[in-house]
Amino acid sequence: NAGVTQTPKFQVLKTGQSMTLQCAQDMNHEYMSWYRQDPGMGLRLIHYSVGAGITDQGEVPNGYNVSRSTTEDFPLRLLSAAPSQTSVYFCASSASPPGTTEAFFGQGTRLTVV
Amino acid sequence: TQLLEQSPQFLSIQEGENLTVYCNSSSVFSSLQWYRQEPGEGPVLLVTVVTGGEVKKLKRLTFQFGDARKDSSLHITAAQPGDTGLYLCVIKSGGSNYKLTFGKGTLLTVNP
């Protein structure tokens, strides 16, 4: 079982570059989310989706875009990378609204912006 | 904004010792989850508690939900090196069905 797959696992960007972090799940989950994890800050929600075609902002959405054209995929786009976006990014999916059901996380993408 | 405080932030113990970590909220919550995150991996769900006063056991791990629904604890008996990881408590963010609030976690190291 693949579960939630994130690519790439590591990435170095120069300030101002753009890139897309990929996230795919094979569990037919409606709910998907993107988080960033920074030392001393815990996981913070960037964007989330409650189904194909439906996305909304989380706690720290500035500088990021998302789209959800299919149930399986939920890419996160960095528009113009900044050093403040250096972080570990996690994608998660769940069958029901998160909090009372299990959220499945990918292995993360470690992004460094120089 | 609902806050989750976890304590201690760091804990380093020897194999075989017992330990308890805590999670406290600034307001009442309807449910709480505990996740464990190993280095280089994403968090993995350990348990979900929904009833005030609830106690759940998962092998050597005992999870308790406070009667007032504002706190929770995780007790590990006879810790093993495989228990090493970041323990995160998580609740639904107030006013939203879709957003989660994570505590900052307790980083546990169990030395052989």
Task: For residue range B55-65, list pLDDT tens digits in order.
Answer: 999 999 999 99
Q: Would the CB atoms of B50 and A31 count as touching at under 8 Å?
A: no
CB A70 within 8 A of CB A24: no
Determine the residue of chain B that is closest to A31 in CA distance. Answer: B98
SS3 B81: helix
Statement: residue A34 has pLDDT above 80: yes
**A50-96, pLDDT tens digit by residue?**
999 999 999 999 999 999 999 999 999 999 999 999 999 999 999 98
Q: Could you tell me if B88 lies within 8 Å of chain A, comparing CB atoms?
A: yes
CA distance B101 to chain A (A): 8
Give the contacts of A8 (CB within 8 A, at least 6 positions apart): A21, A22, A109
Tokens 């190291």 -> residue: B109
- Residue B32: the pLDDT is 92
Closest in B42, B48, B105 to A100, CB measured: B48
Tokens 């972090």 -> residue: A21
Lookup: tokens for B36: 């464990």
**B30-57, pLDDT tens digit by residue?**
889 999 999 999 999 999 998 889 999 9
Residues of B in contact with A50 (CB under 8 A): 98
Residues of A with CB under 8 A from a CB of B: 4, 31, 33, 35, 40-45, 48, 50, 56, 58-59, 90, 92, 97-103, 105-108
CA distance A18 to chain B (A): 24
Q: Could you tell me if B40 lies within 8 Å of chain A, comparing CB atoms?
A: yes
- Residue A42: the pLDDT is 85
CA distance A90 to chain B (A): 7
- State the pLDDT confidence band at A99, using cuts at 50, 70 and 90: confident
- Residue A46: the pLDDT is 96
Closest in A35, A48, A90 to B98, CB measured: A48
Residues of B in contact with A56 (CB under 8 A): 98
Residues of B in contact with A35 (CB under 8 A): 102
Statement: residue A16 has pLDDT above 70: yes
> How many inter-chain contacts (A to B, CB under 8 Å) are there?
62
Lookup: tokens for A51: 């189904």
SS3 A37: strand
DSSP 3-state percent helix, strand, coil across chain A (nearest 5): 5, 55, 45
